[in-house]
Amino acid sequence: MEDSGDFWERRRHAATLRYRLCPSCFRAVPASSSERYCINDGTWLLEFCPLCNSGIANPYARYCATCGLEFATLEQPSRASEARV
């Protein structure tokens, strides 16, 4: 049988988990990861909504849960475009 304290600790941790999200391909990584750019396309990963500054709490998010901003409409710099400048 599972200790109820362990259950609630895991639930609390899950509620505070945040993600970084690629607005191009929607790949998500935990915010605790050292990744800052998407390994699929080099796009800068979002950790917060650029409009309302809310954290991204769902790895499947396509829109901000607070203000409704569609992440796919954002123009984000990629590592490749920064190198050309």
Q: Total domain count for the chain?
A: 1
pLDDT at 14 over 70: no
CA distances from 30 to 26, 27, 60, 80 (A): 13, 10, 12, 23
Checking if the pLDDT of 19 tops 60, the result is: yes
pLDDT tens per residue across span 59-73: 999 999 999 999 998
Any domain includes 13:
no
d(CA 5, CA 9): 6
Nearest to 52 by CA among 36, 63, 37: 63
Is 1 among the domain residues? no
Percentage of the chain exceeding pLDDT 70: 71
Q: Give me the domain span that covers residue 77.
A: 18-85
Asked whether residue 6 is assigned to any structural domain, the reply reads: no
Spatial separation of the C-alpha atoms in residues 54 and 75, rounded to whole Å: 18
- This prediction has a pTM of 0.70
pLDDT recorded at residue 48? 95
pLDDT at 81: 53
Mean pLDDT of the chain: 84
Is 8 among the domain residues?
no
> Which tops the pLDDT comparison, 31 or 10?
31
